[in-house]
Structure 1
């Protein structure tokens, strides 16, 4: 399941997710901290140009997002609209996943 968590590749994907989750509280995305170094990583293992500045910011080719909340070991990223915040990975939220399209 974790390998299928969403991570943003384009502004188009972000806009799609914002529309799909409109009216929903925070949703899990594929962003987490699992190491003592407190480095934000996508679940596929990529840093995706993340850094350790405070507040933490996701840099991508299309946007910058501040990540609010504490960056502690076992923290996960949750999203609502264009806001991303840190929360305990064990907290209960809906999640957003992605998978390859297939022809019917």
Structure 2
């Protein structure tokens, strides 16, 4: 009989390398392919992030060529010469329209050339006159642009009443009560 403190082989298990895994090569391959898959996934996410930002920028910016130069206007704005224009389809007072333009980092148009006036008149939809940045605060007073320059360039139709503002149509510019409601036109410099 064997002594009690002697260990028997039946109580001990001898571990062989083959006991660790039935398919050791497949585990290594799965680890390698898992790492490669993770890297491809991360690279794809990074590329999609840059592509999304590029698409977002191209949707916000409308690029036009003029005289060999690039001028940029925000999406949904129209380019004429070096200025961008946005034509509103909601009727508001002159002050409300000016406020809406200011929220877009713009202002009601200050028309400096006949070309600008003609562009605005051609772009307006028939029957939808729009506010421009010209006003008079008292009857008989000079008309003044919102940039504080006096108006002297083209014919204004209609009387100058208390607080009159200018409205443009496809054919004319006329005086209107500033509290009347018309579509706004916003103007800003192109970049």
- Cα distance in 2 for partners of 1:12, 1:69 equals 23
Determine whether 1:7 maps to 2:7. no
What is the deviation of 1:11?
A: 2.4
Determine whether 1:78 maps to 2:191. no
Q: Report matched runs for 1:1-104 at 5 Å.
A: 1=98, 4-35=107-138, 38-48=141-151, 50=152, 59=153, 64-65=154-155, 67-102=156-191
Three-state SS of the structure 2 residue aligned to 1:98 is strand
The answer on whether the counterparts of 1:38 and 1:73 sit within 8 Å (CA) in structure 2 is no
What is the deviation of 1:15?
A: 2.1
What is the deviation of 1:19?
A: 1.9
Cα deviation, 1:58-80, whole Å, max 9, x if unaligned, reads x2xxxx32x22221221001111
Q: Which has the higher contact order (CA 8 A, sep 6+)?
A: 1
- Cα distance in 2 for partners of 1:70, 1:32 equals 12
In structure 1, the gaps of 5 or more residues are 51-58
- Cα distance in 2 for partners of 1:19, 1:87 equals 20
Three-state SS of the structure 1 residue aligned to 2:186 is coil
Deviating above 4 A after TM superposition, structure 1's stretches of 4 or more consecutive aligned residues are none
State TM-score, norm by structure 2: 0.41
Larger helix proportion of the pair: 2
In structure 2, the gaps of 5 or more residues are 1-97, 100-105
Q: 1:69 to 1:12 in 2, by over 3 A?
A: closer
The answer on whether the counterparts of 1:33 and 1:74 sit within 8 Å (CA) in structure 2 is yes
Structure with higher Rg: it is: 2
